[in-house]
Chain A
């Protein structure tokens, strides 16, 4: 079964729905990882990207009632509901100007009571504090909400926000596209087509975006492959996706708390299959907040070439019981990457190389692998 897939990969041929299913179902995750690693090394060699970013969630008030979410509170005034005053949000950046992040990543609840100008002002204020900071803000679900709530088209929303300082869109809110899952876990927010249309419009405006998939809950492998293929089809149009980020479902404190979380084997397999199926998406991200830094390190050998960033202030996975640390320092991320035998590359939000770190302080074993690799074609790495 794997043989035909190997042949296709060697011939540079695109994998089919059935291939994707076979990869998810194959019992030997290490062999799948090896295949994904070959593709990853063909694309990126040993380079492994990270950035200095910070996350801010300005409000957790949300009109949507997604089953998997432990973060959102339905109404302003509900216990635990919180909306930052705009100056509070800015202060998060001001407090870090001695070692400022290159990117601010803002994801929010769908707040029904804020004016659209709140968001414009929010973006503009960050740019006033640090003009070159990259604003990666608002998922497609939020953009869709803004459009319907404030009576604008996607294009109008995106253009106004861009004028205020928006640089790119994060990939959140994709969850699982297939309607038989989406209607059960996220019935009252942007549909799959709406999510994809927001990204289509963003790409047409020349804006880069990311894409995600929330896996490991009630969806089947068929739903995952379907999800990947919908993304691949949109990517064929304009190539605006920079990175794909598989997100593991975490069950604490949400409407699916009776489900077990997906295991590390599933995380590695999903990274690997994503790398193999999404032949037109440049980067696959091992989001360490979702999979723990330890498993993320392994994922760098299973198809991922990006490990996200320093994060600093993640609250969404925290609320769902993730035991990953809230932040990693750049030095910790560099070591995490080096321990995998890779070359850490600090990048901008648009994947410009800011600094390539040395292989120094690598484990002895990885150094030796390195030296040997120099002479061998398509050797896979530890």
Chain B
């Protein structure tokens, strides 16, 4: 397609974004290009079915089942499928495990690539210019803005998702979680801990 159309068609739409959506919806449904019922079905998927609870199940399983952890680190695409997790933007999954030596953190500087089938719709901060611009150069300052300070001696590895590989951070299992079952462990796994901008909660 020709790029750099000097006269972008989108500028013909109303400037208010809510009205812009309405105009596009009106046009696309009138022309039969979009099935109105499909819009509801799409939203049902991302508002009710998919979310960070799925990624948390993966992490909790890895914490409690060392054979699963090994499979997850060797081939996360296959390992998450064992738990029935699949879908768009989760075609090629790599799990990266935090250790006392290395803290992992995920960004997409060029757009906002994110493991939707594991974590749902990305939060606004993940898509913000500030996060995209700064996570690669000053990850520790960004972590401080999330209230996270890494211990001395732990290096940071930032994964810039520039292809169709989607990264899931496996945080370190928190102290005091011994003896918890998988469901209780999953409740400790926050969304941000699986992006690498947070740490799991500690057991009460």
Chain B binds chain A: no
Q: Measuring CB to CB, which residues of chain B are less than 8 angstroms from any residue of chain A? A: none
